[in-house]
Amino acid sequence: MGPILQVEKLTKRFGGLTAVAELDFEVREGEILGMIGPNGAGKTTTFNVIAGTYPATGGEVRFAGEPILGLPPHRIASRGVMRTFQHNRPFAGLPVIDNVLVGAHTRFAASLWSVVLGSARSDEGQRRKRAEELVQFVGLGELRDADVATLSFGQGRLLEIARALAGEPRLILFDEPAAGLTPAECARLAEIIRGIAARGIAVLLIEHDMHFLLPLAQRVVVLNFGAKIADGLPDEVRAHPAVMDAYLGSHATPQ
Ligand SMILES: Nc1ncnc2c1ncn2[C@@H]1O[C@H](COP(=O)(O)OP(=O)(O)OP(=O)(O)O)[C@@H](O)[C@H]1O
Ligand SMILES: [Mg+2]
């Protein structure tokens, strides 16, 4: 499979701090690519630059062959790059199903109000049908009408995923999706991520929990101080001396 995302010499500085340093990697179509690295390694910043939240200092990012650096976040989303955040961000006061519908409108650039008011667009019915399917897909079917304020943390995470999928991504960026989940929820999440990749959607997955990531990812990129220090198959990366050093240096050994 060819690359859907190509990152070349990507650099992001915050004043004197280089958060991402000449980073090269690519994500192939339908692939699950893991991204690991100690706290502060530049993982979330990499997402923020790819998604257009922060401008890059240098380098190039191509999505489906087209340069995307410098585009505003909604334009990047509308091309098919969706993300979840390190912290859940539901739209308070809206039920689960409408939160998912908002995701569809992120991609298709309609306003939140057209969701709330149920404005009659020709494809609205189709979006609703898809939102229903996605709520089922992530296992929140019985909670479709629940207020998001009543969801558990783990259910909130599933909602974030359904909302990102509603934008019909070709690439989805997950920032530590397993953080804070119970072991049972992690197992369910792993199944969902596999299901996403099986639908042909490429996945870029930041994750600290190696037990979660290594069985899931086809390849893994390792960052430290913003630079790539290793990439390869999960087993190769785990055994890589630079990876051991980086984690020992941060007092967090990969397990
Ligand atoms: N908006 C910002 N302004 C200034 N510095 C920032 C900003 N965002 C991130 N940084 C710095 O950039 C570096 C990389 O941070 P980043 O959040 O990308 O790390 P991370 O790999 O996601 O870490 P974690 O595993 O803790 O989530 C850190 O030193 C951080 O303090
Ligand atoms: Mg982070």
- Residue 8 is predicted with a pLDDT of 98
Q: How far apart are CA 144 and CA 116, in angstroms?
A: 15
Q: Tell me which DSSP letter residue 142 carries.
A: G
Q: Ligand 1 center to residue 87 CA distance, Å?
A: 14
Q: Pinpoint the residues of the chain covered by CATH 3.40.50.300.
A: 1-80+169-255
The terminus-to-terminus CA distance of the chain in angstroms comes to 30
Q: Check pLDDT > 70 for residue 80.
A: yes
Q: Check pLDDT > 70 for residue 100.
A: yes
User: What atom in ligand 1 is closest to the CA of residue 86?
Assistant: 27
Q: Ligand 2 center to residue 223 CA distance, Å?
A: 11
Write out pLDDT tens, residues 83-98.
Answer: 987 677 788 889 999 9
Mean pLDDT score of the chain: 89
Q: Check pLDDT > 80 for residue 225.
A: yes
Closest CA to 26 of 225, 202, 207, 170: 202
Please tell me which of 101-115, 204-218, 231-245 the model is most confident about, judged by mean pLDDT: 204-218
What is the number of the ligand closest to the CA of 225?
Answer: 1
Q: Ligand 2 center to residue 236 CA distance, Å?
A: 23
**In the structure, which protein residues have their CB atom closer than 6 angstroms to any atom of ligand 1?**
14, 17, 19, 37, 39-45
Q: Ligand 1 center to residue 173 CA distance, Å?
A: 16
Q: How far apart are CA 168 and CA 179, in angstroms?
A: 24
Q: Which residues are found with C-beta within 5 Å of the ion, ligand 2?
A: 43-44
Alpha helices in the chain (DSSP H): 43-50, 73-79, 96-108, 112-116, 124-137, 153-166, 183-198, 210-213, 234-238, 241-249
Residue 130, sorted as left (phi over 0), alpha (psi -120 to 50) or beta, turns out to be: alpha
What is the number of the ligand closest to the CA of 43?
Answer: 1
Write out pLDDT tens, residues 110-143.
Answer: 455 555 555 545 567 888 889 999 999 999 999 9
Going across the sheet that includes 32-36, the strands are 81-83, 171-175, 202-206, 32-36, 219-224, 227-232
Q: Ligand 2 center to residue 43 CA distance, Å?
A: 5
Asked if the 1-80+169-255 domain carries CATH number 3.40.630.30, the reply is no
- Residue 1 is predicted with a pLDDT of 74
Q: Contact at 8 Å (CB) between 195 and 184?
A: no
Q: How far apart are CA 240 and CA 119, in angstroms?
A: 55
Q: Ligand 2 center to residue 118 CA distance, Å?
A: 36
Q: Contact at 8 Å (CB) between 49 and 221?
A: no
Give, using CA atoms, the residue closest to atom 3 of ligand 1: 14
Q: Tell me which DSSP letter residue 177 carries.
A: T
Q: Check pLDDT > 70 for residue 229.
A: yes
What is the number of the ligand closest to the CA of 17?
Answer: 1
Please tell me which of 106-110, 133-137, 208-212 the model is most confident about, judged by mean pLDDT: 133-137
- CB-based contacts of 79: which residues, under 8 Å, 6+ apart? 63, 64, 66, 68, 71, 170
User: What atom in ligand 1 is closest to the CA of residue 37?
Assistant: 21
Going across the sheet that includes 17-28, the strands are 17-28, 3-14, 58-63, 66-67
Stretch 146-172: mean pLDDT: 94
- Residue 251 is predicted with a pLDDT of 45
Stretch 68-78: mean pLDDT: 93
Q: How many CB atoms lie within 10 A of CB 199?
A: 9
Q: Contact at 8 Å (CB) between 171 and 81?
A: yes
